[in-house]
């Protein structure tokens, strides 16, 4: 059993229809745990009603919540989500508990056990949490897979944060709309979002940073994986979309699970797309997962060499 850690924000999205627990690292970790790993959420909640509710929501999932810190001073995180012309707009409130992640002896021990760690850019908005995250990553073993899943939420990112994170990453995951933004921040040539431009952008990143794989998701159009050895393009899986919340995080978790198993790029892409499409077909990022559905999806993934 692999130890897979989601490091960073844990929050409540305040949607028009009600509150929903989320945060990319938490969504990622729940899916990683569902795939048979020891998924550990490394975050921080306030000692308040929303914090208690978050722990209650996570309790039924096969995820390790024992490394979620408690904060008696700062509140559990909330994000107000407003829709303008059907496009979501986020008000990410601060300061909150996950702005004060602490690098404890328990977290040091967890870092040394980790086979993979997924981290993003949003949680690094706070100097305290950014330092803790970097210390955590520095404490991992050389063979630990460090996954940087960028999340460009204005105004909580910078070229410095992205560049430093890429120096630490084994895998860089982003979506096609983030590719031009990232290249512009890092001094690259203007990039388009057509497949040839995305391949070129991934190659440019691999030349300049010590990562092994660039994973670019294309929404309903699938994904593109580019490594130092080759590339693989997977077309999207057609189906009914309920909402896309958490679909990208499910893609990342399934891809990382396959990567840790030594899978080919084709199987990594298949796993990511199958699980991402399933989450998109459900409501929310952590929907119920019947065993029959899990078996069906895993069997389809196993068909790919």
**Mean pLDDT confidence for 205-229:** 97
pLDDT in tens, 1-52: 999 999 999 999 998 888 999 999 999 999 999 999 999 999 999 999 999 9
Question: In the structure, what pLDDT confidence band is assigned to residue 299 with cuts at 50, 70 and 90?
Answer: very high
Give domain 3-11+22-73+95-302's CATH number out of 3.40.1190.20, 3.40.630.10, 3.40.50.300, 3.40.190.10. 3.40.1190.20
Structure pTM? Answer: 0.96
Tell me what pLDDT residue 86 has: 63
**Mean pLDDT confidence for 91-120:** 97
Contacts 24+ apart (CB under 8 A), 256-261: 256/4, 256/32, 256/116, 256/118, 256/145, 256/147, 256/171, 257/2, 257/4, 257/32, 257/35, 257/36, 257/37, 258/301, 259/116, 259/145, 259/171, 259/213, 260/2, 260/4, 260/115, 260/116, 260/145
- Count the residues in the chain: 305
pLDDT in tens, 132-176: 999 999 999 999 999 999 999 888 899 999 999 999 999 999 999
């Amino acid at each position: 059993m692999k130890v897979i850690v989601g490091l960073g924000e844990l929050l409540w999205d305040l949607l028009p229809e009600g509150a929903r627990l989320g945060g990319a690292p938490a969504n990622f970790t729940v899916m990683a745990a569902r795939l048979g790993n020891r998924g550990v959420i490394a975050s921080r909640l306030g000692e308040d009603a929303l914090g208690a509710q978050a722990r209650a929501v996570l309790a039924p999932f096969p995820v390790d919540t024992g490394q979620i810190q408690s904060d008696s001073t700062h509140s559990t995180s909330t994000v107000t989500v407003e829709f303008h012309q059907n496009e979501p707009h986020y008000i990410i409130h601060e300061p909150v508990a996950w702005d004060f992640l602490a690098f404890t002896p328990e977290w040091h021990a967890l870092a040394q056990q980790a086979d993979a760690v997924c981290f993003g850019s949003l949680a690094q908005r706070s100097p305290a949490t950014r330092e803790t995250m970097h210390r955590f990553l520095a404490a991992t073993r050389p063979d630990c897979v460090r996954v940087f899943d960028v999340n460009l939420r204005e105004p909580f990112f910078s070229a410095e944060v992205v560049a430093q994170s890429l120096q630490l990453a084994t895998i860089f995951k982003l979506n096609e709309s983030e590719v031009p933004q990232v290249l512009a921040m890092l001094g690259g040539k203007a990039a388009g979002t057509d497949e040839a431009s995305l391949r070129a952008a991934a190659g440019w990143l691999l030349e300049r940073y010590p990562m092994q794989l660039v994973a670019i998701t294309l929404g309903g159009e699938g994904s593109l994986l580019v490594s130092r050895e080759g590339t693989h393009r997977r077309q999207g899986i057609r189906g009914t979309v309920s909402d896309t919340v958490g679909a990208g995080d499910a893609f990342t978790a399934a891809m990382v699970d396959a990567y840790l198993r030594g899978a080919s790029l084709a199987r990594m892409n298949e796993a990511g797309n199958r699980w991402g499409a399933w989450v998109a077909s459900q409501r929310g990022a952590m929907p119920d997962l019947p065993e029959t559905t899990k078996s069906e999806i895993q069997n389809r993934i196993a068909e790919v060499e």
